[in-house]
């Protein structure tokens, strides 16, 4: 999931365009992009879209960001959008394991009511100082949580933290990445608000990738190609990974656990990383048959 395109739930004319885009996933937003007076209308629109033939036929990952637990819209959102074909529910502003468990309970009720055959997972947003401090508990609260996603605006703005300072972004990225790693879930990078700053988006995406993030959110179609490129293994990385795996096969046949490849000591963590790079390359069809 290199790229995830946000689509306002109140703009159904954009749903089809999103499905035809190069984004790996689309995330329909019922939260910040929809004013209160249009929440019910947008909710019904999303429900109809998820039940459509187009949505059922797509190979994209379908995600819906609902309104937060403490709003009057949360339960109605979940009841409406938990349908077959929805891959993930994006949960905004959880701050504790208990928040996650409440969301899971709502998910389970909706799945039972709507006859959902494949369990919907949770992508939990880390958007406050408290959430960042407790990110490991949020990520570990329930097996339905498959990933954590950074929300820079909600976290930084109330505290007066400069959003475009790379040191600030790096600190938040690193802290959440370690929590996700400890919990065994993926880390996903948040949005970059300046859609005219392609260089800034690219730099932030590349920093996230170097930290082991899966991908980066896109709030405009122009950012999709930047994310896809940033989170694509480079030809050099693929070649090095294949070299490591080839050397691993030879070492295993000789009963050797650690060995040298081009001056670098290789053991289990490096082998696992090489396997992951090759797996992504195969998924993206970057390797020959």
The residues spanned by each domain of the chain are 3-230, 235-283
Closest CA to 27 of 228, 204, 224: 224
Residue 197, exposed/middle/buried by CB under 10 A (0-12, 13-18, 19+)?
middle
| pTM score, whole prediction | 0.88
Collapsed DSSP state (helix, strand, coil) of residue 88: strand
As a whole-number percent, the residues of the chain with pLDDT over 90 amount to 80
State the virtual CA torsion across 216, 74, 45, 12 in degrees, nearest 10: -30
The residues, any chain, with a CB within 8 Å of residue 120's CB and separated by 6 or more, are 82, 86, 87, 88, 89, 107, 111, 144
Average pLDDT of the residues of the chain: 93
List 5's β-bridge partners, or say none.
26, 218
- The per-residue pLDDT for 289 is 54
Q: How would you classify residue 172: left for phi > 0, otherwise alpha for psi between -120 and 50, otherwise beta?
A: alpha
Per-residue pLDDT band for 123 (boundaries 50, 70, 90) equals very high
CATH (residue range 3-230)? 3.20.20.60
Distance in angstroms (rounded) separating the CA atoms of residues 163 and 168 = 7
**What's the mean pLDDT in 3-25?**
95
The CA distance from 65 to 123, in Å, is 9
Half-sphere exposure of 64 (CA within 13 A, CB side): 29
Q: Are 134 and 95 in contact (CB under 8 A)?
A: yes
**For residue 174, what pLDDT is reported?**
98
Model confidence pLDDT, tens digit, residues 39-90 = 999 999 999 999 999 999 999 999 999 999 999 999 999 999 999 999 999 9
At 49 the three-state DSSP class reads helix
């Amino acid at each position: 999931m290199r790229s995830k395109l946000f689509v306002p739930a109140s703009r159904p004319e954009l749903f089809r365009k999103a499905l035809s885009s190069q984004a790996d996933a689309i995330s329909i937003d019922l939260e910040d992009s929809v004013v209160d007076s249009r929440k019910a209308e947008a909710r019904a629109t999303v429900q109809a879209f998820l039940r459509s033939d187009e949505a059922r036929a797509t190979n994209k990952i379908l995600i819906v960001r609902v309104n937060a637990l403490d709003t009057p819209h949360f339960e109605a959102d979940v009841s409406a959008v938990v349908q077959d074909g929805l891959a993930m529910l994006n949960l905004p502003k959880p701050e504790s394991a208990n928040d996650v468990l409440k969301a899971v309970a709502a998910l389970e009720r909706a799945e039972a009511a709507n006859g959902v055959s494949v369990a919907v997972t949770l992508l939990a947003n880390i958007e406050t100082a408290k959430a960042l401090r407790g990110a490991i508990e949020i990520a570990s609260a329930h097996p339905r949580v498959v990933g954590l996603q950074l929300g820079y605006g909600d976290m930084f703005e109330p505290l007066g933290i400069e959003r475009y300072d790379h040191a600030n972004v790096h600190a938040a990225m690193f802290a959440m990445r370690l929590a996700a790693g400890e919990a065994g879930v993926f880390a996903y990078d948040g949005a970059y608000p300046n859609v005219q700053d392609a260089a800034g988006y690219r730099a932030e995406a590349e920093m996230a990738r170097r930290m082991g993030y899966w991908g980066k959110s896109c709030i405009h179609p122009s950012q999709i190609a930047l994310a896809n490129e940033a989170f694509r293994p480079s030809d050099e990385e693929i070649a090095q990974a294949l070299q490591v795996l080839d050397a691993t096969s030879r070492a295993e046949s000789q009963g050797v656990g650690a060995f040298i490849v081009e001056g670098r000591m290789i053991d289990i963590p490096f082998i696992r990383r090489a396997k992951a790079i090759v797996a992504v390359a195969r998924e993206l069809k970057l390797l020959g048959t």
